Structure 1
């Protein structure tokens, strides 16, 4: 998969000589949060739809409102996960794309990028998702990978999904037929297993003991 195949050019970038009315009409016509503005093939910035709607003088040129421009973009080497982060950080559904010479070449649309991510092996439904936690001082990516692969499981991807001053939470995507073995190994290395799994024999044992104790107390 080449993420550059999803660069779009259907929406023509505006220039600072365009009127606010042109930008406003574009926002009304298309479900976009931002409009790229380009001068001589160089990205000047993006006007947000919300800002365009607040400008009362629709006949004025966009050049009078450059202070409203938002500065964000990606390049042709930006990865899929980096793109998703950019969309989230800028609360947008369009991200301008620049080439190695910083020329504007088009844009990515959020819907396309999410579809690509959903179709990736990382998100495939046949795979297992395991969430574990450990103290920051003891955590290492290499150890997580070693634990997964030592149990003959295939590591598809992982990322830090949550952290605080003391602990980190890691979401792991893996392919295995013996998830219980992976889970028990993580516990032996003092990882807390956050996600719940039907094949987790440790939890089943705890449930059995709890049920036995409950029956004992009810006698």
Structure 2
């Protein structure tokens, strides 16, 4: 599905000559955190609902409050992941969209983009989720892919899900008939397995050894 199919034009953008009252009415009628303001079809910025609501002079024009504008947007070539980052970075549920000439063409709604992401093969294809951990300077995406594929697995995708001190955690979505072999290979390459999995041979072995040692000590 082409993400551009989800560019919306249902709500007309605000303009610098729009009044505070009209902006408040827009936010009252639609569940939006921000809304774009244009001038001659060029994006000036986006007003946050929180900022609009505290302005008491409702007959005043938006141009008097341009210092409150936030500057964020996406171009027509933006990917779903790029859009999700813009949504998160700006704590917004709407993103203005510009064409190559920087003209305003519409906006993305967070709900639509999340729907596209949640129905992508990456999310819906039946798979295993494996989280591995290693020093940031030592891990390699190419090595990760090789480990999965060398054990007859199929890597659907991978991303750095956590970064703490000198370590990173990498979340993998993969298809495999024997994830144990993949986990054992990761361990041989000094990757720590963070996620828990049923029938993990390595952990079962550690558990059995621990139980045996405990029994021995109790003799």
Query: TM-score, normalization: structure 2?
Result: 0.96
What is the match of residue 190 of structure 1?
190
| Partner Cα distance (2:96, 2:30) in 1 | 16
User: 5 Å matches for 1:131-150?
Assistant: 131-150=131-150
Aligned residues: CA RMSD:
1.3
| Partner Cα distance (1:170, 1:40) in 2 | 45
Distance 1:20 1:84, change over 3 A: same
User: 5 Å matches for 1:15-164?
Assistant: 15-124=15-124, 126-164=126-164
Does the Cα contact within 8 Å between 1:179 and 1:199 map onto a contact in 2?
A: no
Does the Cα contact within 8 Å between 1:97 and 1:106 map onto a contact in 2?
A: yes
How many pairs align? 219
* Cα drift, residue 125 of structure 1: 6.3
Q: Describe the SS at the equivalent of 1:71.
A: coil
Per-residue CA deviations over 1:159-213 (Å, capped at 9, x if unaligned) read 1111234211111111112111111111110000101111321111112222333
| Partner Cα distance (2:127, 2:5) in 1 | 26
Does the Cα contact within 8 Å between 1:132 and 1:170 map onto a contact in 2?
A: yes
Per-residue CA deviations over 1:14-57 (Å, capped at 9, x if unaligned) read 10110000000111111000011111111110000000001011
Which sections of structure 2, spanning at least 5 residues, go unmatched?
Answer: none
Distance 1:124 1:211, change over 3 A: farther
Q: Describe the SS at the equivalent of 2:44.
A: strand
Which sections of structure 1, spanning at least 5 residues, go unmatched?
Answer: none
| Partner Cα distance (1:27, 1:53) in 2 | 9
| Partner Cα distance (2:107, 2:199) in 1 | 44
Query: TM-score, normalization: structure 1?
Result: 0.96
